[in-house]
Amino acid sequence: MIGGTVGEVVESRNDKYAVGDKVVGFGGWQLYSTATGKGDVTKVDTTHIPLSAYLGSVGMPGMTAWYGLMKICEPKAGETVCVDAASGAVGSVVGQLAKLKGMHVVGIAGGPDKCAYVRDELGFDECIDYKAFPEPADFYAALKAVTPRGIDCHFENVGGSIMDAVLLRMNAFGRIALCGMISGYNGVPIPMAAPQLILQSRLKIQGFIVSEHMNLWPEGLGELGGLVATGKLKFRESIADGLASAPQAFFDLLKGKNFGKQLVKLV
């Protein structure tokens, strides 16, 4: 089973990697993995950045946030940005980066605890607990109340009824970074209530896959690493214990039971 991993070199026949070196790569769901050392693992510095962060804010999820915000949303100070799954690995980085760019940041997350974290610890301006508004009209009203100047940029992680409400608040020439549609990961197609809004509001909607932009990773991860090392980018993790707990942790992720980056501690 493929999966991003961080770990420690326990045996080496490669001069560039010594026993004890910390590495990040795609070791998969297993206790030990072999690597050629030719691009499949990267040595990381844990002096100022915890090893696990290389799977989160300073890894693939952080880079996903960075790419979607910087390259698709093209943030401008004073504009309003919205992000759902806001307390998660990707969403939490999106909102904090957007705050650093001077934007008005609105998060959407499931539950009062997640929203309190997003607002009080991560510094978002607003957070809506979508679970408190099961009726689409009520959720839309709550979103409208915290976006009086509309939404210029949206970072989509969820899809479905949340995206329908956001589309109604998008300003003309708004940008949407279509990163994920987790509400449809069980295989059921996700309908869109009013696609005509894309035309009426002249929106730019762009899907992306972060691994197709490897040329930008050094730039993005360099920026994110600096922010984490200096405490300007905060993150949270949910850590499942042991390989046997990995399947349940994955199911829980799809129900929002994780709080921050979901990790599995193998050894």
Ligand X SMILES: NC(=O)c1ccc[n+]([C@@H]2O[C@H](COP(=O)([O-])OP(=O)(O)OC[C@H]3O[C@@H](n4cnc5c(N)ncnc54)[C@H](OP(=O)(O)O)[C@@H]3O)[C@@H](O)[C@H]2O)c1
25 near ligand X, judged by CB under 6 A: no
Pick left, alpha or beta for residue 203 (phi over 0 → left; psi -120 to 50 → alpha; otherwise beta): beta
208 near ligand X, judged by CB under 6 A: yes
* Calpha distance 191→96 (Å, rounded): 30
Nearer of residues 65 and 103 to ligand X, judged by Cβ: 65
Nearer of residues 225 and 256 to ligand X, judged by Cβ: 256
Q: 3-state DSSP call for residue 151?
A: strand
Q: 3-state DSSP call for residue 229?
A: helix
Judged by CB under 6 A, the residue of 183, 217, 223, 264 near ligand X is 183
Nearer of residues 27 and 91 to ligand X, judged by Cβ: 91
Through-space distance between the first and last CA atoms of the chain, rounded to whole angstroms? 17
* Calpha distance 186→166 (Å, rounded): 22
> Which range, of 72-80, 192-200, 243-251, 252-260, touches ligand X by CB under 6 A?
252-260
Cβ neighbours for 186, distance < 8 A, ≥ 6 positions apart: 254
> Which range, of 20-28, 31-39, 135-143, 204-212, touches ligand X by CB under 6 A?
204-212
* Calpha distance 200→183 (Å, rounded): 25
CB of 181 vs ligand X, minimal distance in Å: 6
Q: Are strands 126-129 and 104-109 parallel, antiparallel or unpaired?
A: parallel
Instruction: Report, in this order, helix, strand and coil percent for the chain, each rounded to 5.
Output: 40, 20, 40
> Which range, of 19-27, 69-77, 136-144, 175-183, touches ligand X by CB under 6 A?
175-183
* Calpha distance 221→59 (Å, rounded): 7
> Which range, of 1-9, 18-26, 165-173, 206-214, touches ligand X by CB under 6 A?
206-214
Nearer of residues 57 and 147 to ligand X, judged by Cβ: 57
88 near ligand X, judged by CB under 6 A: yes
264 near ligand X, judged by CB under 6 A: no
Nearer of residues 132 and 172 to ligand X, judged by Cβ: 132
**Cβ-based neighbour number of residue 56 at 10 Å:** 27
CB of 231 vs ligand X, minimal distance in Å: 21
Nearer of residues 101 and 114 to ligand X, judged by Cβ: 114
- Chain positions contacting ligand X, by CB under 6 A: 61, 64, 85, 87-91, 109-110, 114, 157-158, 179-180, 182-183, 208-210, 253-254, 256, 258, 261
